[in-house]
Amino acid sequence: MTLIPPRVERGQTIGVVAPAGPIKPPRLAAGLARLGDAFRIRLAPSLETWERAAGTPSYLAAPDEQRVAELMALLADPDVRAVVLARGGYGLMRLLPALDPDVLRRDPKPIVGFSDATALLAWAHHAGVRGIHGPMIGQLADLSVREVGDLIAMLGEPVARGVMPWRLAAQVGQGVIRGPLVGANLTMISMLAGTRWPVPVAGAIALVEEVGEKPYELDRYLTQLILTGVLPTSAAWVLGDLVRCTDPHPPAGEADPSDAALRVFVDRLGAAGIPFTYGAPVGHGTRNEPVPFGAAAELDLDTGTLAILDAAVS
């Protein structure tokens, strides 16, 4: 059974932590400013001091032990009613074995993130607690007022979003598909396959985005998911933004077409017999709509619409 966290009331505290890559102070400050006075903010200690332990790799915000301790402290704090990641990057996979799911189960609270945070959303799902696939603090400054408002509303209002106001492109397949909506990063779906915390795409409508991967790398991840049997278990895929998924030096020597990344998905999803559509405003660009992770959803391939039938909070 999935535990739906209680709503975060205006003026309550949200925790902000960087359990993956580092974030620059101006970027953090700009994102926090976009939340206005909706919530009190509790920053993890490393985001307060900006001190990095000697020898910490440049791609990690802090040593593993420190990132685990800061994340778990926020999850255990009864005053903190949600945890929003400062940014993604890389590093959450390293932490999963050290995280205690009982802490989250005892006091369910929504975790908000995407990209590398897919790993943490999957961990929370396997712990039995619903998270939110949505923008992190470092991205908020790039988003519209409406999208920031949507995140605040999703945390604070126990209301299903219903039919999303998205303009989805041409569909492959027909009819209505129902299943849990699982927002995820393609790389993380591939990397977590076979672990204790796989992204739960079986029977799901997978809402997938990616950034900075070349077309052949996208092909590699999707083919791996076909060979492991993960991809064919999906009910359908909805593609979000594929940001900077180009190859400046294609092996053939000729420039790739502008839709080369999309063509990879068309080929690989078609090979697996998976219905899909694309154009969801989700990803690493200047749009990133929040969605509740694992909420019941309905994809109508005849009309090109997606309806979210469950709320993120209770």
Domains and CATH numbers, the chain: 13-156 (3.40.50.10740), 162-308 (3.50.30.60)
For residues 12-37, give the mean pLDDT.
97
For residues 17-45, give the mean pLDDT.
97
For residues 113-127, give the mean pLDDT.
98
pLDDT at position 296? 98
Tens of pLDDT, residues 75-86 = 999 999 999 999
For residues 116-125, give the mean pLDDT.
98
Show the tokens assigned to 24: 């620059």
Residues with active-site annotation: 115, 209, 284
C-alpha distances in Å from residue 6, one per residue of 83, 131, 152, 196, 309: 13, 12, 14, 27, 17
For residues 31-58, give the mean pLDDT.
94
Look at 112-116, 230-234, 251-255, 289-293 and tell me which has the smallest mean pLDDT. 251-255
pLDDT at position 170? 78
Report the Cα 38 to chain-centroid distance in Å: 22
* Rounded percentage of the chain residues whose pLDDT exceeds 70: 100
Closest CA to 226 of 194, 182, 272: 272
Show the tokens assigned to 163: 């039919």
Question: How far is Cα 195 from Cα 188, in angstroms, rounded to an integer?
Answer: 11
pLDDT at position 51? 82
Average pLDDT, the chain: 96
Burial 116-144 (b: 16+ CB within 10 A, else e): bbbbbbbbbbebebbbbbbbbbbbbbbbe
Specify whether the backbone of 91 is left (phi greater than 0), alpha (psi in -120 to 50) or beta. Answer: left
Q: Is 63 exposed, middle or buried (0-12, 13-18, 19+ CB in 10 A)?
A: middle
